With several copies, the nearest count.
Chain A
Amino acid sequence: MSDFSVDARSDGDWVVVTAAGDIDVYTAPRLKRALTEEIDRGHHHIVLDMTKVRFMDSTGLAVMVGGLKKVKAKKGTLELVGPNDQIRRILTITDLVKILPVHDSVEDACRGKTT
């Protein structure tokens, strides 16, 4: 149930974290751990690639808000790539779109980052 995987590729102080599957009460702790590890390693600019995430609920939102707080404390950023319609909908309802920038591709997100 709730297939989930998470994986990170980093470059300097930024990192692309790729999540896949379902983000819910069962799997969100794994996403949280992955983000925390990256931040602890000094990767304060996080691009979270959600292209392969098929479902996310408020447990995922909470992880993102938590991650955002941590990177902001280090003057970092947390940006999202490719959330599906369901995820966009809950980001919009909760107004989190206003604090979590959304991009269509990792390239778009990184372009902003490396300039």
Chain B
Amino acid sequence: MTDPVELMLPPQPEFVGTARIFAAAIGRHFGVDEEVVADLKVAISEACTGAIWAHNQEGIADPIVIRVFPDLPSLNVEVESKAGQAPAEGVEWEPVTPSDTFHPLLGGGLIRTLFPDAEFIENGGLTVRFSVPR
């Protein structure tokens, strides 16, 4: 794989916008179509939101790392965090009556729908990985 461009963020809600601005800039730079850039912003936002939520639940403060590998024919994107669990298999999107502003299932399902090759790897934390056509 190629050298990644990497963004590291504290697991706090205020940084999710930084993650999107980064993803959009990198996506465009590598020639990702504008509609796919829009999907990429959503997927990155969801992955970070899930990670922030999990860090908060588990009371840990390790950073979230976003890596973009400028591979061909697709960028490989990875959001790695030290907290979190893979959404159950088969769950596409479940409009669970969310009691609060976030339910981790929503985000995972959206990522899977937008990027069908998305993988959720539990490795003492959670790494979300998907590829983005360019």
Please list the residues of chain A having a beta carbon within 8 angstroms of any beta carbon in chain B. 1-2, 22, 24-26, 28-29, 32, 55, 57-59, 61-63, 65-66, 69, 85-86, 89-90, 93-96
Contact = CB atoms under 8 A, between A and B. Distances in A.
Q: How large is the interface on B (under 10, 10 to 19, 20 to 34, 35 or more residues)?
A: 35 or more
Interface of B: 13-18, 20-21, 25, 28-29, 35, 38-39, 41-42, 45-46, 48-49, 52-53, 93, 95, 97-103, 106-107, 109-110, 113-114
Contacts of A59: 49, 101-102
B46 to A, nearest CB: 6
B106 A1 contact: no
Contact of B41 (A26, A63, A66, A86): A86
Contact of B107 (A1, A58, A85): A58
B16 A24 contact: yes
Contacts, number: 94
A90 B46 CA distance: 12
B17 A95 contact: no
8 contacts: A1-B28, A22-B17, A22-B20, A26-B14, A62-B100, A66-B98, A85-B38, A90-B110
**Interface of chain A, helix or strand or loop or mixed?**
helix
Contacts of A89: 38-39
A93 B16 CA distance: 22
A1 B110 contact: no
Contacts of B14: 1-2, 26
B101 A1 contact: no
From A32, A57, A61, A95, name the one whose CB has the most chain B CB atoms within 10 angstroms.
A57
A58 B102 contact: yes
B98 A65 contact: yes
Contacts of B95: 65, 94-96
